[in-house]
Each structure stands twice: as structure tokens, then as C-alpha cells.
Amino acid sequence: MENKATRVGYGEKILELGRENKNIVVLSADVTASTSSHLFAKEFPDRFFNVGISEQDLICEAAGLSLVGKIPFVSAYAVFVTGRCWDQIRNTLCYSNLNVKIIGTHSGILVGPDGATHQALEDIAIMNVIPNMKIFSPCDYIETKKVIEAISHDFGPTYVRLSREKTPVITKEKDSFTIGKANLIADGYDVTIFATGVMVGEAIKAREFLAHEHISAKIINIHTIKPIDEETIINSVMETGCSVVAEEHQILGGLGSIISQILAKNCPIPIEFVGMEDKFGESGEPFELLKKYKLDSIGLLNACKKVLKRKK
């Protein structure tokens, strides 16, 4: 399987879209090349604005641009572009429902050696609680391109969560993508795994391990975290009767919390969670860290076995 970073998918797609729609503008906060915005910046210098190391200004400059008819894409590191300017996102972008797209690259623990300050593990939680916000967490390079294309035609404040690290390309160009519609990656009848972002790849590996033990796992890729696809989530546990939620994010307030709320209300079943257990990360090689914090296929495998024991 080919490995490619989701942030590269963003950079390539936004350049392509920029050629088609001259209302698209791109803003950066001194991390132009590492967020892959440099391709756009080079071809459209007039439509690219670098505001330097000032994320609060970044969000509100984009708000102003959207109010005169532009479609701003702002990109910076996920941890700063959601956390440092949360008030600006809440009070200016979301309250006024402005058409600004926030691209957070370098999300999750996969940032690795940079350590805890740079590992965004709370971004889904803090974006999800704001009304009007939409959240996307694509699982690979190809899906990222589809997300960027889709949100450029959609209206409203949006957050897209991307990775720095090269990760497996799982989906295909021809696979369908619709905003708010979760995708079935593989079918199964013993346990349902809901995964988002890089964890979709880990879920596929875990599914193979489980198959050796004659356990059949269904995998649902939650690329749109808000608005969440309640219908698919409920239907996909009807047969399996138990589930595991996997995310490269804090368990508190993340996808696990969102899915638990839906299932608790509609069809209470045993659920296990794979995610950060209320801890900060640390420096280390990306995939080493995934393993240490049980965010890999082995962590998922164990969580599946645990939830199966709890199933009546």
C-alpha cells in the first residue's frame, strides 16, 4: 500500500480549486510549506496572505475576507489553529456563520518528536461544541482531496483535521464521498469498529488479526464528525451488538463521546474506546508513540476482545 500525507492532498487540491475559482484565497501563519500551502502561494501570490505567527489575527482576517465574498482556506498546525484562537472561532466565525475553512495539519500524536505541545489531541472536542461548525477527519490522501473539494462548494465554518506523517492510502478515487455520510470500509458481524483519520488504517490491520481468531469485524470510516451520520452508526451496530471507537484524540470529548451519546439514546450496547486516556503525549517516533499509547492495531485488537466479552 502506498503511503502519502493527508496534508499533501490538501496542498494539491487547493491549487487545483484555486485555478477554477478565483474567489478562493489562502491564508497562512508562517507554516506555509509545512501545511502544503506553498503550491497555491507560488501560483497565486495575490490571493495568498501570510499573517505571520498570529493565529487569532489569522482567523479574523479570514472572517473579513469571507464577508466581502471570498472563500478563505486558512491553514496552520492543528493544535494552535483550534486552541489558540478558540474564542475567535466561536465568537467571530461560528456565531456569524462565516464561510471560512480551517485546515489543521500536524494533528494527533503522529507529530512525534516535536512532543506534547505540538500534538493536537483535543481539537475535535473543542471544535465539536461550537454551533454551526462542521468537522472533517479524512482517513487518507485521496479522501482528503474529496473533503477539500466538497467543502469548497459547501457554505459555513469548517474544520479539517490532517496529519503531517505519511499514512497508508486506503480509499480509491472512485469511492463515493458525501458530506455527513459515513463509509463502510469492510463488513462483519461480531463487532463494529468506528474509526476516524489514521485509525481507519489501524482498524484494517486489526480486522485481519481478528479474522485469524475467527472474529468478524465491521469497519465504519467516520470522515465527517459533524454533522455526524446517526443513521449509519445506529444501523451498523444492529447486527454486531457491540462496538469499539478508535481515534487519535483524547477519549474525553472525542468521537467516542459523540458515538456513545447516539448509541446510549437509541440502542445501548457495550462500547470500548481506543484513544488518549486523559494524558499528554511526548517526544518519540510517530508509530512508536501510537504503540506506546495503545493507539495501534494491537490496542484495537485488545479493545475488540474486551468488548466481545462484555457482549451478552
Partner 1 sequence: MNNLKNFNIFIFIYNIYNTKNIYYKEDLFYFWEKNMNLDKYLSLSKKVREEILKMIFLAKSGHPGGSLSTVEIMIALYFKYLRFNAVDFFENDRDRFILSKGHVCPSQYACLALSGLIPMDELKTLRKIGSKLQGHPSYKAKLKGIEVSTGSLGQGLSIGSGMALGLKLDKKDNNIYVLLGDGELQSGQIWEAIMTSSHYKLNNLCAIIDYNNLQIDGKVSDIKSIMPIKNKFDSFNWNTIEIDGHNYAEIFSAFDRFNLKDTDRPTAIIAKTVKGKGVSFMENNPSWHGKAPNREELDLALKELENFKL
Choose the binding region for partner 1 from 32-40, 47-55, 161-169, 265-273 (rule: CB under 8 A): 47-55
Q: Using CA atoms, how far apart are residues 186 and 209, in angstroms rounded to an integer?
A: 14
CA distance 111 to 148: 22
- For the four alpha carbons of 280, 36, 222 and 170, in that order, the dihedral sign comes to negative
Q: Is 18 in the site for partner 1 (CB under 8 A)?
A: no
101 binds partner 1 (CB under 8 A): no
Q: Is 56 among the residues that bind partner 1 (CB under 8 A)?
A: yes
Distance CA 145, CA 186 (A): 22
Residue 172 φ then ψ, to 5°: -120, 155
**Interface stretch with partner 1, choices 32-40, 45-53, 186-194, 212-220 (CB under 8 A):** 45-53
Question: Could you say which of 13, 70, 146, 249 contacts partner 1 (CB under 8 A)?
Answer: 70
Binding positions for partner 1, 173-212, rule CB under 8 A: none
Please tell me whether residue 21 binds partner 1 under the rule CB under 8 A: no
Tell me phi and psi for residue 143, to 5 degrees: -65, -35
Edge-to-edge strands, sheet with 24-28 = 48-50, 24-28, 71-77, 101-105, 158-161, 134-136, 224-226
Given the complex with partner 1, which of 28 and 240 has the nearer CB atom? 28
Which of 100/245 has CB closer to partner 1?
100
129 contributes a contact to partner 1 by CB under 8 A: no
d(CA 218, CA 225): 19
Q: Which residues contact 188 (CB under 8 A, 6 or more apart)?
A: 207, 216, 217, 218, 219, 240
Judge whether 107 and 163 are in contact, CB under 8 Å: yes
Count residues near partner 1 (CB under 8 A).
31
Q: Which one of 5, 8, 63, 191 is in contact with partner 1 (CB under 8 A)?
A: 63
- The region that residue 77 occupies, defined by phi over 0 for left and psi between -120 and 50 for alpha, beta otherwise, is beta
57 near partner 1, judged by CB under 8 A: yes
Q: Which stretch binds partner 1 (CB under 8 A): 60-68, 137-145, 186-194, 211-219?
A: 60-68
C-alpha to C-alpha distances, 123 to 153, 250, 272, nearest whole angstrom: 24, 9, 21
- Give the residue with the Cβ less far from partner 1, 25 or 233: 25
The one segment of 89-97, 140-148, 175-183, 289-297 that binds partner 1 by CB under 8 A: 89-97
Residue 227 contacts partner 1 per CB under 8 A: no
CB of 147 to partner 1, least distance (A): 24
Shortest distance in whole angstroms from residue 120 CB to partner 1: 21
Cis peptide before 268 (omega within 30 of 0): no
List residues near partner 1 by CB under 8 A: 25, 46-47, 49, 51-52, 54, 56-57, 59-70, 72, 87-88, 90-92, 95-98
